[in-house]
A and B are shown apart, each in its own frame.
Chain A
Amino acid sequence: MISCSSSYSDENSMFHGSLMHIMGTRFDMLLIGMNRDDAGQLWHSIEEELKRLHLMMNRFDPDSEISRINQHAIQHFVPVSEELWAILQDCRSYHQKTFGLFDITLKDLNKVSFNQEYRSLRFQQSDFSFDLGGYAKGYAMKRLVNLLKEHKVENCFVDFGNSAIFALGNHPYGDSWKVSIGNPYQDGAVLSEFSLKNRALSTSGNSPSYTGHIVNPLSGTFNIRRMLLCVECDDPIDAEVLSTTLMVADKSQKKEILDQFEDTHLKEFYL
Chain B
Amino acid sequence: MSKKQVKKVDLGLRQFIKDLGYITGGAAMLGTMPWLQSFTPDKLNELKREKARIALIGTGSRGQYHIHNLLLMAHVEIVALCDIYPPNLEVAATLCPQAKKYTDYRKMMESPDIDGVVIATPLYWHAPMVLDALSAGKHVFCEKSMALTMEQCKAIYDTYQTTDKVLYFCMQRMFDEKYIKGIQMIHTGMIGDVVGARCHWFRNHDWRRPVPSPELEKQINWRLYRESSGGLMTELASHQLEVCNWVTRHIPQSVVGMGDIVNWKDGREVYDSVSLTYRYNSGVKITYESLISNKFNGMEDQILGNKGTMNLATGKYFLENDSTSGNSGIEQLLTQIGNKVFAAVPAAGSSWRPETKKEYKPHYIIEGDYNINDGLSMIGAVKDGSDEILSSFCQACITGDKGKDIVEEAYSATMLCLLGNQAMDEQRVIAFPEEYKIPYMHF
What chain B residues lie within 8 Å of A8 (beta carbons)?
Answer: 19, 22
- Determine whether the beta carbon of B351 is less than 8 Å from that of A209: no
Give the chain A neighbours of B188 by CB distance below 8 A. Answer: 1, 3-4
A58 an interface residue at 8 Å Cβ cutoff? no
Interface residues on chain A, size class:
35 or more
Binary CB contact string for chain A from 21 to 36 against chain B (1 if under 8 A, 0 otherwise): 1001110101000001
- A179 lies within 8 A of B344 (CB): yes
- Please provide the chain B residues from 332 to 370 with a CB less than 8 Å away from any CB of chain A in the complex: 333-334, 337-338, 340-353, 355, 367
Residues of A within 8 A of B45 (CB): none
Answer yes or no: A135 CB below 8 A from chain B CBs.
Answer: no
A contact residues around B341 at 8 Å (CB): 173
Interface check A248, CB cutoff 8 A: no
Check B330–A4 contact: CB distance below 8 A: no
From residue A177, how far is it (CB to closest CB) to chain B in Å?
A: 7
In the complex the two chains form, what is the Cα distance from A28 to B323 in whole Å?
14
- Which of A82-90, A91-99, A160-168 contacts the other chain? A160-168
Quick check: is B21 within 8 A (CB to CB) of the other chain? yes
Known contacts A6-B22, A193-B344; decide if A181 and B353 are in contact (CB<8 Å): no
Residues of B close to A159: CB separation below 8 A = 329-330, 345, 347
Task: List A contacts of B343 (CB < 8 A).
Answer: 178
Give which listed residue, A3, A171, A184, A207, contacts B337 with CB less than 8 A. Answer: A171
User: Cβ of B350 and Cβ of A181 under 8 Å apart?
Assistant: no
B192 at the interface (CB under 8 A from A): yes
Asked if A257 is at the interface of the complex by the 8 Å CB criterion, the answer is: no
Check B355 against A203 for contact (C-beta < 8 Å). Answer: no
B326 — which chain A residues lie within 8 A by C-beta? 162
8 Å CB interface, A15-47 against B: 16, 18, 20-21, 24-26, 28, 30, 36, 40, 43-44, 47
- How far is A157 from B346 in the complex, measured between Cα atoms in Å? 13
Contact of A151 with B by CB under 8 A: no
Cα-based distance from A157 to B351 in the complex (angstroms): 17
CA distance A7 to B16 in the complex (A): 10
Once A162-B329, A206-B350 are accepted as A-B contacts, the answer to whether A20 and B323 lie under 8 Å apart by CB is yes
Interface residue tally on B, bucketed by range:
35 or more
Tell me the complex Cα distance, A163–B421, Å: 55
List B contacts of A162 (CB < 8 A): 326, 328-330, 346-348, 351-352
CB of B119 closer than 8 Å to a CB of A: no
Cβ of B323 and Cβ of A3 under 8 Å apart?
Answer: no
Residue contact B347 to A24, C-beta cutoff 8 Å: no
In the complex where A6-B23, A180-B345, A193-B344 touch, is A173 in contact with B352 (Cβ < 8 A)? Answer: no
- Flag whether A56 is at the interface (Cβ < 8 A): no
Q: Are B349 and A207 in contact (CB-based, < 8 A)?
A: yes
Q: Are A3 and B190 in contact (CB under 8 A)?
A: yes
B294 contacts the other chain (CB 8 A): no
Q: In whole angstroms, what is the CA distance A232 to B352 when docked?
A: 20
Q: Does B162 contact A (CB under 8 A)?
A: no
Q: How far is the CA of A28 from the CA of B43 in the complex (A)?
A: 32
Q: Are A205 and B334 in contact (CB under 8 A)?
A: no
Residues of A within 8 A of B353 (CB): 24-25, 161, 210
Contact present for A26 and B348 (CB under 8 Å) = no
Residues of A near B344 (CB, < 8 A) are 178-180, 190, 193
Q: A24, B351: Cβ atoms under 8 Å?
A: yes
B352 near A184: Cβ-Cβ < 8 Å: no
Map CB proximity to A onto B18-29 as digits: 1 under 8 Å, 0 otherwise.
010111110000
Q: Assess whether B345 is in contact with A1, with CB atoms less than 8 Å apart.
A: no
Q: Convert A50-93 into 0s and 1s, putting 1 for each residue whose CB lies closer than 8 angstroms to a CB of B.
A: 00000000000000000000000000000000000000000000
Q: Which of A198-219 contact B (CB under 8 A)?
A: 201, 203-207, 209-210, 213
Residue among B185, B333, B341, B353 with most chain A CB within 10 A: B333
A-B complex: 10 closest residue pairs judged by Cβ atoms: A1-B189, A205-B349, A40-B22, A161-B351, A174-B342, A180-B344, A178-B344, A28-B330, A173-B342, A228-B349
Query: Can you list 12 A-B pairs, Cβ within 8 angstroms, ordered by A?
Result: A1-B188, A1-B192, A4-B24, A8-B19, A25-B351, A30-B330, A48-B24, A163-B347, A178-B342, A179-B347, A184-B348, A184-B350
B residues in contact (CB < 8 Å) with A? 19, 21-25, 185, 188-190, 192, 307, 323-324, 326, 328-330, 333-334, 337-338, 340-353, 355, 367
Chain A residues with a Cβ under 8 A of chain B: 1, 3-9, 11-12, 14, 16, 18, 20-21, 24-26, 28, 30, 36, 40, 43-44, 47-48, 137, 157, 159-165, 171-174, 177-182, 184, 190, 193, 201, 203-207, 209-210, 213, 228
